[in-house]
Amino acid sequence: MLPLAERMRPKTLNEYIGQKHLVGEGAILRQMIENGNLSSFILWGPPGVGKTTLARIIAHQLERPFYTLSAVTSGVKEVREVIDKAKRYAAMNSGLFGGEEKGDKHEGDRRAILFIDEIHRFSKSQQDSLLGAVEEGTITLIGATTENPSFEVITPLLSRCQVYVLKSLEKADLLELLNRAVHEDEHIHSLNIEVKETESILRYSGGDARKLLNILELVTNSGVKLIDNDTVTKQLQQNPVAYDKNGEMHYDIISAFIKSIRGSDPDAALYWLARMVAAGEDPKFIARRLVISASEDIGLANPNAMLIANACFDTLQKIGWPEGRIPLAMATVYLATSQKSNSAYMAINHALEVVEKTGNLPVPLHLRNAPTKLMDELGYGEGYKYAHDFPNHFVKQQFMPDALQGTKLWHAQGSPQEQKMAEWMKYLWGDEAKK
């Protein structure tokens, strides 16, 4: 018998749960499907939200050949083989067989769809091998990734694809899926399951449809007839791998990891790091989070933290795995034991709020560049004082727009490093630095 998640996989858009912003009435992907005019795109979202399912539904509804590759197991050779198949198919279906007969709902467009799961794991050479086929229209590429494509997909390929963001399923979506599984799956329905409480199963699923169905299957296979919060919790405590297999708690564990660093607990941070290493988490994913933590949580209290985090990232790429776990551990302990400050993080957020409220305020004339004669005649740059010509490489002048004079965005926090910076600002600006 197939797993419950496979048995419940929807086959049409009407059966598909969630992502209304993409496939709801009038939404962009639904319009593309209904028009039969499909361009290459990448689906970015957390595990279990329906990326693979959506790709399959699209291929089925458009009656296109559907090839699927996993970035984990496929290389350049497999990519080229699929592209060759797509070319042969296109040649066979051109002209007389091109689907251009009157009445064909998708006339003229029989391009094969190539679905690549975990496209962020494709190397540069693997991604390069796709470029020609995507650009020429030999294939329509649908990529799926849990990582930000701007970091992991090469720019030439990214520029040829739209990126659509899939969201974690909401409570209503998960409840609909649960109800559908209990009443529509033949096997589950035959067990006469009663669902009394749903808080635990929803909490453990974390917006992941596949995880929710796996939990339901685990609980019902154990002989349970009544699903409530205690039952679900007990079953999962006894079988933790059932809901964390292959790192499915990816987002929960990385959250615990970062919060342990922020909370200055190196032991807890190392534990969560070990959990990710043992589960086979992508090391670059961990390293990127360390860089983010260094800037967001440690910041100006210890600017060296950013250097350490970046050095960890670089070292990891040079030495690979499994030795890469050592610089990850080193950076983790350094960041966890470092003094903390989020003043830069708070300052940029405050600045963005100001920009949103005040709009595009004009740049003061003396700060403007004057690359043309007309601009020079209009006074652009006039009165600007070159700081390096003055003692301490500083001279008082206006840098904010007129409407924001005196606005304070950055506030030093209590670390010795930032207090030193604040004292220097006070020395230069005098009372103005206190505002």
Residue 241: partners with Cβ closer than 8 Å, 6 or more residues away: none
Question: Using 50, 70 and 90 to split pLDDT, how confident is the model at 243?
Answer: very low
Active-site choice (53, 111, 117, 140): 117
Does pLDDT of 151 surpass 80?
no
> How do beta strands 112-117 and 139-145 pair?
parallel
Closest CA to 179 of 71, 391, 17, 6: 17
Catalytic residue among 9, 111, 210, 340: 210
CATH superfamily label, 19-165: P-loop containing nucleotide triphosphate hydrolases (3.40.50.300)
Structure pTM? Answer: 0.57
For the question of residue 434 being annotated catalytic, the response is no
Spans of all domains in the chain: 19-165, 171-246, 249-337, 361-434
Q: Is there a catalytic annotation at residue 146? A: yes
- Are the CB atoms for 276 and 256 separated by under 8 Å? no
d(CA 132, CA 417): 52
Domain covering 171-246 assigned CATH 1.10.8 in the classification = yes
Catalytic pick among 140, 145, 146, 220: 146
249-337 adopts what CATH topology?
Zinc Finger, Delta Prime; domain 3 (1.20.272)
Cα angle value 239/244/248 (rounded, 5°): 160
Q: Has 211 been annotated as catalytic?
A: no
Rounded Cα–Cα distance for residues 215 and 221 (Å): 10
pLDDT at 175 over 90: yes
Q: What CA–CA distances, in Å, run from 247 to 168, 244, 290?
A: 17, 5, 19
Read off the tokens for 146. 């849990």
Per-residue pLDDT of 14-73, as tens digits, reads 889 989 999 888 888 988 888 888 889 999 988 888 899 999 999 888 888 899 888 777
| Residue appearing with tokens 């739209």 | 162
Determine which one of 9, 51, 56, 275 is catalytic: 51
Band of residue 115 on the pLDDT scale cut at 50, 70, 90 = very high
Contacts of 149 (CB under 8 A, 6+ apart): 42, 44, 119, 120, 143, 158, 163
> pLDDT at position 364, please?
80
pLDDT tens, residue by residue, 373-395? 666 666 667 778 888 888 888 88
Whether 52 is catalytic is: yes
Given this model, what pLDDT does residue 376 score?
A: 67
pLDDT digit string, tens, across residues 395-412: 888 888 888 888 888 888
12 labelled catalytic? no
- Dihedral (Cα; 236, 240, 246, 249), 10-degree rounding: 70
Q: Which of 7, 20, 30, 52 is catalytic?
A: 52
